[in-house]
Amino acid sequence: MTRLFRSVPARLFLLAAGIFFVISLVSRIILLVTAREHLTMSMSLFGAFVSGIGFDLSAGVFSGLPWLLLGVLVPLRVLGSRAGRIALMGLMWLFVSILVFITAAEWFFWDEFSARFNFIAVDYLIWTQEVWGNISESYPIVPIFIGIGVLGALVTWLIVRRGGLAWSLRGGATWRDRGAWLAAGLVMPVLIVTTVSESLIPNIANPYHYELAKNGPWSFFAAFRQMELNYKKWYLTLPEDHMRSEAKQLLATANEVAASDPGDLSRIIKSEQPEKRWNVITICMESMSGEYMSYLGNTAELTPNLNRLAGESLFFDNLYATGTRTVRGMEALTLNLPPTPGQAIIYRPEGTHLITTFSPFLDRGYDCAFFYGGDGRFDFMNRYFGTNGCRVMDAGAWEPRDITFKTSWGACDEDLFRKTLKEADAALASGKPFHFFCMTTSNHRPYDFPYGRIDSPPHKRTSAVKYADWALGDFINEAKSHAWFKDTLFVIVSDHCASSAGKNELDVTKYHIPAMIYNPTLAPAQTLSKMSSQIDVMPTVFGLMHWNYQTLGFGHDLLAPSANDQPGRAFVSNYQKIALLRDDRIAILKPNRQASSYTCNPKTGDFTPLDPAASATLVHDANLYYQSASWLFDTGKLKHPALQPK
pLDDT digit string (tens) for 292-325? Answer: 999 999 999 999 999 999 999 999 999 999 998 8
- The answer to whether position 464 is within a domain reads yes
3-state secondary structure string, 214-255?
CCHHHHHHHHHHCCECCHHHHCCCCCHHHHHHHHHHHHCCCC
Domain-embedded: residue 119: yes
What is the pTM assigned to this prediction? Answer: 0.77
Same domain, 207 and 292: no
Provide the H-helix boundaries in 480-605: 537-544
Cβ atoms of 153 and 74 within 8 Å: the answer is no
* pLDDT value for 51: 87
Query: Does 245 map to a domain?
Result: no
Amino acid present at 403 = I
Has residue 232 been placed in a domain? no
Give the mean model confidence (pLDDT) for residues 187-208: 75
H or E segment and range at residue 597: strand 594-600
Answer whether residue 145 shows pLDDT above 70: yes
460, 545: one domain: yes
Residue 399, pLDDT > 80, answer yes
Judged against a pLDDT cut of 80, whether residue 584 lies above it is answered with: yes
**Is residue 268 domain-resident?**
no
> How much is the pLDDT for 506?
83
pLDDT digits (tens, 9 = 90+) for 454-467: 999 999 999 999 99
Total number of domains constituting the chain: 2
Last residue of a domain, one of 200, 225, 250: 225
The Cα–Cα gap between 357 and 470 comes to 28
Question: Do 199 and 322 sit in the same domain of this protein?
Answer: no
CATH of the domain at 350: 3.40.720.10
- Residues 138 and 285 occupy one common structural domain: no
| Spatial separation of the C-alpha atoms in residues 529 and 369, rounded to whole Å | 31
Tell whether 221 and 290 lie within a shared domain. no
Sign of CA dihedral 574, 551, 423, 486: negative
Where does the pLDDT of residue 1 fall: very low under 50, low under 70, confident under 90, or very high at 90 and above?
A: very low
| Among 189, 207, 225, residue at a domain's last position | 225
The SS3 of residue 450 is coil
Q: If 0-12 CB within 10 Å is exposed, 13-18 middle and 19+ buried, where does residue 620 land?
A: middle
Residues 298 and 375 in one domain: yes
Is the omega angle on the peptide bond into residue 75 within 30 degrees of 0, that is, cis? no
Q: Is residue 606 part of a domain?
A: no
The top-scoring range by mean pLDDT among 97-101, 177-181, 318-322 is: 318-322
217 and 331 part of one domain: no
* Structure confidence by residue, pLDDT tens digits, 116-141: 877 666 656 654 554 565 566 667 87
Range of the domain at 506: 276-565
In a domain, 608, yes or no: no
Q: Do 285 and 215 lie in a common domain?
A: no
Same domain, yes or no, for 317 and 402? yes
Please tell me whether residues 193 and 318 are part of one structural domain: no
**Co-location of 289 and 406 in the same domain:** yes
Q: Does 331 share its domain with 390? A: yes
Element (H, E) at 424: helix 413-430
Domain-ending residue, one of 542, 565, 588:
565
Residue 349 inside a domain? The answer is yes
- Whether 541 shows a pLDDT value over 80: the answer reads yes
